Amino acid sequence: MNDSKVIVALDYADASSALSLVNQLDPSLCKLKVGKELFTAAGPQLIEKLTSKNFQIFLDLKFHDIPNTVAKACEAASNLGVWMLNVHASGGKTMMQAALEGVDKSKHSPYLIAVTVLTSMSQANLDEIGIENSIENQVLKLAQLTQLAGLHGVVCSALEAQLLRKQLAQDFLLITPGIRPATASKDDQTRILTPTQALAAGASYLVVGRPITQANRPIEALIAINEEIQSIN
C-alpha cells in the first residue's frame, strides 16, 4: 500500500466535508483516521468508500465494554477492511485479549492498539476516579499491560514516546497525535512536537489533523511533512 508515517485525522461532521478533503489527498502519501463523530454520522458506507479509493484507515472508536461485546465490535470493525483500530487499555487485559480474538476472526488482520490515559485527563481527573498513580506511571502501566495482552501498540502523546520506547519492545507501535510542523499554528494543542522530533523520540506513526486539513493546499502540507520526515531517514 504505502509506507507513509502520516495519518490524517478526518475530524469532520459529515461524509461530504470529509470527502472534499480526501479528494485532494493521495493514498500513496498518507493514511486516514476516522473517529467517533464522523463514523457516527457517516458509518460503514464511508469506510467502504475510503478503502475503495485505496486509503488505509485507522478506525478510532476506542472500544471499552465487557470482553464479549468488545470482541464482537472489533470483529465487525475488522470486517470493514480497516488498517488499524483501537480499544481502551483501562478495559483490562481480559477485554484486550478478547478484542484481539475478535480481530483474528476477521479475514483482514488490522493492527489493534490501545489508548492508555487520554491526554485530556489531568492528575485531578485521575484522582476523581480513584487512580492514585501519577499520569506518567499510569500511562506506562497501561502500555505494558497492552503489550502483555498481545496488542500491537498504543496511542500516546509524542512527549511520552521516548519513555515508552525505552520500556517496550522495539516493534511495539507508538501512534502519536499532538504533532505540529515548526511553521504551523499550535491550535488548541499545548504539548506538541514536530514530525521529526516525534519520530526521533520513537513514534511509529504521526496523527496530524489541522496542519493538513486546514491548510490552503492540503496536499502540499502533506508532502512537506513527508519530505521533512524522509530527510531524517
Does 9 interact with ligand C5P (rule: CB under 6 A)? yes
Q: What is the DSSP letter of 179?
A: B
Any contact of residue 51 with ligand C5P (CB under 6 A)?
no
Which residue's Cβ lies closest to ligand C5P?
209
3-class DSSP assignment, residue 188: coil
116 near ligand C5P, rule: CB under 6 A: no
136 sits near ligand C5P (criterion: CB under 6 A): no
Residue 139 contacts residue 108 (beta carbons within 8 Å): no
Shortest CA distance to 56 belongs to which of 78, 38, 31, 34? 31
- Would you say 210 and 185 are in contact if contact means Cβ atoms under 8 Å apart? yes
62 is catalytic: yes
Question: Which residue, 200 or 215, has its beta carbon nearer to ligand C5P?
Answer: 215
At its nearest, how many Å lie between ligand C5P and the CB of residue 136?
Answer: 14
Q: Could you say whether residue 81 binds ligand C5P (CB under 6 A)?
A: no
Active-site residue identified among 33, 49, 53, 62: 62
Q: Does 86 bind ligand C5P (CB under 6 A)?
A: no
Is 107 or 188 the residue whose CB approaches ligand C5P more closely? 188
Give the relative orientation of helices 93-105 and 67-79 as an angle to the nearest 10 degrees: 30
Q: How far apart are CA 26 and CA 28, in angstroms?
A: 5
Q: How far apart are CA 52 and CA 43, in angstroms?
A: 15
Q: Which residues are catalytic?
A: 62
Q: Give the binding site for ligand C5P (CB under 6 A).
A: 9, 11, 35, 119, 155, 157, 177-178, 187, 189, 207-210
